[in-house]
Amino acid sequence: MEAAGKPLEQWQRDAVELMMSTRPDGKWCCYEYCEWVARQNGKGGLGEARALTGFLVLGEELIIWSAHEYKTAMEAFRRMRSLIRALGEVVSETLVDVDGVMVKISNTNGEEGFERLDNGQRIKFVARSKSSGRGFSGDVNVIDEAFAFTSDQQDALMPTLIARPNAQIIYLSSPPLTGDAGEVMYELKDRGERGGDDSLGYRDWGIEGDLEDRDKMNLDDHQLWAQANPALGLGRVTLETIQRLRKAMSAKNALGFAREVLGLWPRRLQGGGAINMADWAKLLDADSVRDGDIAVGVDIAPERDYAAIGMYGVRSDGIGHLQIVDYRPGTDWILSRLGEIRSALNPVVFVMGRAVFASLEADLEKAGFAKSVDVDQPKYGDLAVTSSLEMSAATGNMLDAVRQGSFRHKGQQELDSSAAGAKTKLTGDTLVWARKDSAADTCPLVAVSLARWGYESRAHLVRAAVYDVLESVW
């Protein structure tokens, strides 16, 4: 790497030394090697050093570099192309002479990679699919963006390595995006932290704790910044850069900063919930926006350590849209935030359960929030307090809507985690979200469920009441 003008930093050299350590019989000590580190620290450099060594020195026949997205795989391909060109003499656009070894560059869409013309060794760059491992049998397999590497993809890859006498798998990633994804990463994490597996090399630079507990941590501690970012102060990552990121990523409880810069993992959520997360994933639309009126739902966690405000509306194509408007520790912020939403968006209704209403009743009254005088002719901004039957209806309607695919969400982590861990319980003949038995905080899911129920049950009545008033004027 130094010969290519990209010398490795000490932490990178340590990683490459670990992954290339051998047993007395010449086999790799690490059949699998994991490097979990925050973005932009240079984890790609580890894979590049390992791949180039196998390609130019060790005689490894096929090296496969895979990424979750095509654009990421192509970025890795372009970096490798620059390194190979820097190591040798460029003969043509597609040919480089590296110390007498002619290396062919393939730029063909879907066939990007490098080939040694003297012995046929190759490096291939691919975007992963469920079966992308089939048909390849790599001596070295670099799994970039391992947070998106699935069990199905792993099952497709592993059998292809049987015929390789000294294969190796390199996993590179920042933490999983949500607790219900990244199943392979979580299994590797369990194995690495448990120990006892000499075939697994494992390093995680992230700080200790769960992403959900970030409000209990001092995210401004510079020692934590240094712990999670091994490249800090070495040129690539500077203290000023992290300080700027801290300010820019302060929204939503610094969730993005905690995960992407400090390497905090979300708490794992494993199946068995009320919502099929495969169905939930199909409803993701990061660009989704509502068009017109909204309803707002409010909920507070049983321990009152967190609260959520959700909204629901309908898009221009007639499909529902829901999202979390705010999700923060404590409850003292709720009334001021509701006031801001009322002024800015004039919702058709604000909805909350009886327990939440009881705890906020005095403050709601002072802030001018009131229940409808006439439930058959509600007004914009009225307050609706759900009965047990209405709470059950909100729960059931949300479950139906997920199965029917009748809305879209924006992929917010707090809502994704809430949906992944949610369970239901029967209270008499009614089905409601189980607040205490769920594997995650249910209040984000409850908030959007109430918002959806409020919109479906109130929006037409509010609009009708406004229409009647206008009719009486004329």
163 in Cβ contact with 139 (< 8 Å):
no
CA–CA dist 265, 176 (Å, integer): 7
- For tokens 């010398």, the residue is 7
On the question of pLDDT at 253 being above 80, the answer is no
Q: What pLDDT shows up at residue 473?
A: 41
Q: What pLDDT shows up at residue 470?
A: 40
On the question of pLDDT at 474 being above 90, the answer is no
Give the Å distances, CA to CA, from 34 to 20, 220, 226, 436, 474.
13, 27, 20, 35, 72
Distance of CA 185 to the CA centre of its chain: 13
Sign of CA dihedral 315, 319, 320, 321: negative
CA–CA dist 139, 135 (Å, integer): 13
* CA-derived radius of gyration, the chain: 27
The token pair at 128 is: 């992963």
Taking phi over 0 as left and psi of -120 to 50 as alpha, with beta for the rest, 145 belongs to left
**pLDDT band with cut points at 50, 70 and 90 for residue 8:** very high
Which residues are within 8 A (CB) of 38 and not within 5 positions of it... i.e. 6 or more apart? 174, 205, 206, 228, 229, 260, 261, 262, 263
In this structure, are strands 424-427 and 430-433 parallel, antiparallel, or unpaired? antiparallel
The stretch 102-110 carries a mean pLDDT of 92
pLDDT 10s digits, 56-100: 999 999 999 999 989 999 999 999 999 999 999 999 999 999 999
**pLDDT band with cut points at 50, 70 and 90 for residue 472:** very low
CA–CA dist 418, 442 (Å, integer): 5
Closest CA to 273 of 417, 421, 399: 421
pLDDT 10s digits, 410-464: 989 889 888 988 889 988 788 999 987 777 789 999 999 999 999 999 878 767 6
10-205 topology per CATH: Rossmann fold (3.40.50)
The stretch 300-305 carries a mean pLDDT of 91
CA–CA dist 66, 46 (Å, integer): 14
| Predicted structure pTM score | 0.67
On the question of pLDDT at 299 being above 80, the answer is yes
pLDDT 10s digits, 141-198: 999 999 999 888 888 888 888 889 999 999 999 999 877 778 899 999 999 999 889 9
pLDDT 10s digits, 188-222: 999 999 988 999 999 999 999 988 788 889 999 99
pLDDT 10s digits, 364-419: 999 999 999 888 888 999 999 999 999 999 999 999 999 999 999 998 988 988 89
Q: In what order do the strands lie in the sheet with 349-353?
A: 382-386, 349-353, 294-300, 306-314, 320-329, 407-408
- CB-count exposure of residue 123 (10 Å: 0-12, 13-18, 19+): buried
Q: What pLDDT shows up at residue 471?
A: 46
CA–CA dist 86, 169 (Å, integer): 26
Q: If you classify domain 277-473 with CATH, what class do you get?
A: alpha beta
Give the Å distances, CA to CA, from 227 to 145, 268, 380, 438.
21, 23, 51, 33
Ordered by start, the domain boundaries in the chain are 10-205, 213-260, 277-473
